[in-house]
Amino acid sequence: MMNQRIVVVGAGIAGLTAAHYLNQEGYTPIVFEKTDQVGGRMMTDIVNGVSIDGGAQFLMDAYPVLTSLIDHLGMSSEFIEARPYWGTVRNGKIRKVRARDVLSPLRTGLLSLPGWLRLGWRMNQLMPGVQSFPINDSTAWTEYDDVDAYTWSRSYFGQEVTDYIMEPPVGGLFFHSLRDTSRVLPIGITSVFLYQKKKTMILANGINELPKRLASQLDVRLNTLVKSVSIGKSGVELDIGSESITADRVILAAPASSSRALYQQPTTIEKELLATPYSSSMVIAVVVKDTFPVDPEMADIYCILIPERERGVIASMGIQGAEDQARLGNVKVFAAFLSGKASAEMMEWKDEAVVPVVLDEMDMYFAGLSGHVLFTKVFHWREAMAMTPVGRNRKVAQYRQSINGYTKVFLAGDYMGMSFTEGASETGKWASLSMMKNLA
């Protein structure tokens, strides 16, 4: 039997952030990770000598916790701006959009004049009231957690703006349906992307570099499967197979389903949060010769969103690393993200069956791409992004208010906050600060 003051379960960005802040205050947490690498969905794979981000692709300069960690780790020079445009498909054509160019949706034909005018009118009504809200803290948004995104957007913005502005990032980056998502998510995305005009960023050496550097300063034990977590008389008992550990406090920072399987005595509100569903996705990395010609008009696009109205199996596409040529050398890397629906249907397919379907669709947007492929790599994410149903933000707020001096187990992860990388990191920071207050 080993006694340990603090244990963190899960070495994704939520768990590593929690351990980092504890470590900064003089605590020595142990982080247990069941796989052989840190970072979770912030993963970078080296395939045939090429560095490929196989999960999360982009960050933003609006992310306070992650940018603070990047600064602390001395990575600021590697935190570089992505190309300035994204594209959204309408009538089979990629329409370039830039947040700093308010006319771009109108000029490129993404929106009609009436749609563009209504977007501007409604944005100027909505955004002054929310632009000060923290993008990473879901509990600040509870007053907007009252209706599904589709019902709200169709009524507020109209069908055209819903189809081509509100839906594409939710379906293409989160793999969610507007109908199953609280309006908090698209309001938050729109506030940062369109209204506040924040910059999209990448990490030059791959997105996994951040969790790797965090882990290098911590006691992280890979390939260690925690089988159960239960609250006993002397503390929190963890079964890791080869031994039992008793901790004073534990942060559960694994995905909701994994934490639900481990945690033996959740409260009612914890049970509800641990039941949070996830969307699925598959990422197909396509590596082509650097000589493959990309339309010069598309050369400054970092991401392409395909709206539900026009979507096949691909929900979005990224073009990796053009800002960091030293990383890629003489190749280009395209990443196709399958929709939640397509991923659920194709998850069990063999990779060699998935790739031709995806390449056929990619050829529609990048003519001749399939003829220049050097190799492909398929990444499977059964739990890609935590869903954000109506009411979840309110439940998170209720959970945080329930924490007291007797709390032994703290929940963290993307299902406990805003459903993206910064949101997950914020929950880790919150859990560590709450735990330290609790211990004090």
Is the sign of the CA dihedral 433, 437, 438, 440 positive or negative?
Answer: positive
- Give the model's pLDDT for residue 320: 75
- Give the model's pLDDT for residue 1: 40
* Cα gap 96→89, rounded to integer Å: 9
Q: pLDDT digits over 156-214, tens only? A: 999 999 999 999 999 999 999 999 999 999 999 998 877 777 889 999 889 999 999 99
What burial class does residue 365 get, using C-beta atoms within 10 Å of its C-beta: 0-12 exposed, 13-18 middle, 19+ buried? buried
Token pair 């589709």 is found at: 150
- Give the model's pLDDT for residue 194: 79
* Cα gap 271→265, rounded to integer Å: 9
Question: Which runs of E-coded beta strand occur in 141-186?
Answer: none
Token pair 């729109």 is found at: 190
- Which residues of the chain, if any, have pLDDT below 50? 1-2
* Cα gap 39→214, rounded to integer Å: 10
Strands 236-239 and 228-231: antiparallel
Cα 19-36-418 angle, rounded to 5 deg: 50
For residues 279 and 174, the answer to whether their CB atoms sit within 8 Å is yes
**Overall pTM surpassing 0.75 (yes/no):** yes
- Give the model's pLDDT for residue 294: 85
- Give the model's pLDDT for residue 203: 92
Closest of 252, 247, 212, 239 to residue 15, by C-alpha: 252
Residue 393 vs residues 6, 135, 136, 409, 419: alpha-carbon distances, Å: 27, 13, 12, 20, 10
Task: Please name each of the domains of the chain with its CATH number.
Answer: 2-40+208-277+388-439 (3.50.50.60), 44-59+77-82+200-206+278-386 (3.90.660.10), 100-195 (1.10.3110)
